[in-house]
Amino acid sequence: TRDLLKELTLGASEATTDEVAAFFVADLGAIVRKHFCFLKCLPRVRPFYAVKCNSSPGVLKVLAQLGLGFSCANKAEMELVQHIGVPASKIIYANPCKQIAQIKYAAKHGIQLLSFDNEMELAKVVKSHPSAKMVLCIATDDSHSLSRLSLKFGVSLKSCRHLLENAKKSHVEVVGVSFHIGSGCPDPQAYAQSIADVRLVFEMGTELGHKMHVLDLGGGFPGTEGAKVRFEEIASVINSALDLYFPEGCGVDILAELGRYYVTSAFTVAVSIIAKKEVLLDQPGKEEENGSTTKTVVYHLDEGVYGIFNSVLFDNICPTPILQKKPSTEQPLYSSSLWGPAVDGCDCVAEGLWLPQLHVGDWLVFDNMGAYTVGMGSPFGGTQACHITYAMSRVAWEALRRQLMAAEQEDDA
């Protein structure tokens, strides 16, 4: 990926057009590897990919070929995956608060599995999609997660019975329960607690005559090696909780809706320096202990927090650039900050960095940029969605090919 980036940034610098634009390089092989790791660590769970996380065509096609299901939040996402041939049976419309027109779209296109967390949604489904199979979304304790979902979605345990009764009365079929522990959750036990809660709701539903057989573990699985809690650790907690509350052979279809897990580490982005200012510090000498200067250097990039660096605002991420040329030990480092293109004081990508002297036209590279970035080229800054170059190693390509052949043989059989 790095070699390809080097080549592409060189090409972009030498291009005759005046405009520069950030661009991604995507290692699709990393996605294939993630998939096999998932299957090994959570063998009882069927992965669905959360399309909202990164809906670039290369990602969707590889995941579809690997046989994943897809979790869609709206009509546009359902259309996208159906367009590449994903059957309706492999789609969950996982948005507890949906537009009526989009519920009708799901009904028309055979998408049966829908989530809900309130009575109004049941009433909409009765009218617009009476044959839907509903998954009740329950709230979790996501108070320690970086990005919380239960602030907006999910019903409390004490309101579940009422909703399940209401569904029964309205002749709406409830088939299961979902949750989302939030993203960046520091405690894997949150999954275990939610699985225990789902067990209670399954009992309630069964008592009321619903045929409960879908357990949806949601997302929130980390996408980088450097995450506070490793994926393998989470998987081990989940497996133990499943063995306890939903033992093998219990007839429950267990699925998860993973977003960042699949794509974060697969994408690297190159961003260009479009402007530079040197600002003298108010208190000369303050910086001397760390570096060799009393100035701070302010770099303006062609992407910012309203575009691909939105994780700075939403996930408290502090992006650190990788320099294309490693600075020598003699090179002085300067206190530096990185800003996006918006004419707005909030568009700060990173501060407090110590960087060598960089220049307008230089490229900065950032790793782990696959989640909630693509398609978000800074509209505020006037730029467009960034271009993506896809790559895949021969080994990953072979693994994908074998998977395809196995799937074809299964279809033939």
Active-site residue list: 52, 180, 257
In whole angstroms, how far apart are CA 267 and each of 54, 205, 390, 391?
10, 42, 9, 10
Whichever of 52 and 300 has its CB closer to ligand PLP, that residue is: 52
Closest approach of ligand PLP to the CB of residue 344, in Å? 25
Q: What angle do CA 400, 402, 405 make, to 5 degrees?
A: 110
Q: Across the strands, what pairs with 387?
A: 23
CA distance 330 to 247: 61
| Phi, psi values for residue 43, rounded to 5° | -65, -20
Closest approach of ligand PLP to the CB of residue 248, in Å? 25
Q: Over 101-116, what HEC string results?
A: HHHHHHHHCCCCEEEE
Closest approach of ligand PLP to the CB of residue 211, in Å? 23
Whichever of 103 and 258 has its CB closer to ligand PLP, that residue is: 258
Whichever of 71 and 268 has its CB closer to ligand PLP, that residue is: 71
Closest approach of ligand PLP to the CB of residue 182, in Å? 8
CA distance 152 to 91: 22
Whichever of 263 and 355 has its CB closer to ligand PLP, that residue is: 263
CA distance 129 to 121: 11
CA distance 139 to 117: 9
User: Which residues contribute to the site for ligand PLP (CB under 6 A)?
Assistant: 50, 53, 71, 94, 149, 180, 183, 218-221, 257-261, 371
In a 3-state reduction of DSSP, which class is residue 91? strand
Whichever of 53 and 305 has its CB closer to ligand PLP, that residue is: 53
Whichever of 253 and 398 has its CB closer to ligand PLP, that residue is: 253
CA distance 321 to 270: 9
Which among 52, 96, 45 is positioned nearest to 68, based on CA atoms? Answer: 45
Cβ atoms of 61 and 86 within 8 Å: the answer is: no
Q: What angle do CA 305, 311, 312 make, to 5 degrees?
A: 60
CA distance 88 to 133: 13
162: left (phi over 0), alpha (psi -120 to 50) or beta: alpha
Closest approach of ligand PLP to the CB of residue 16, in Å? 39
316: left (phi over 0), alpha (psi -120 to 50) or beta: left
Closest approach of ligand PLP to the CB of residue 224, in Å? 12
Closest approach of ligand PLP to the CB of residue 411, in Å? 28
Number of Cβ within a 10 Å radius of residue 390: 18
Whichever of 105 and 261 has its CB closer to ligand PLP, that residue is: 261
The full length of the chain comes to 413
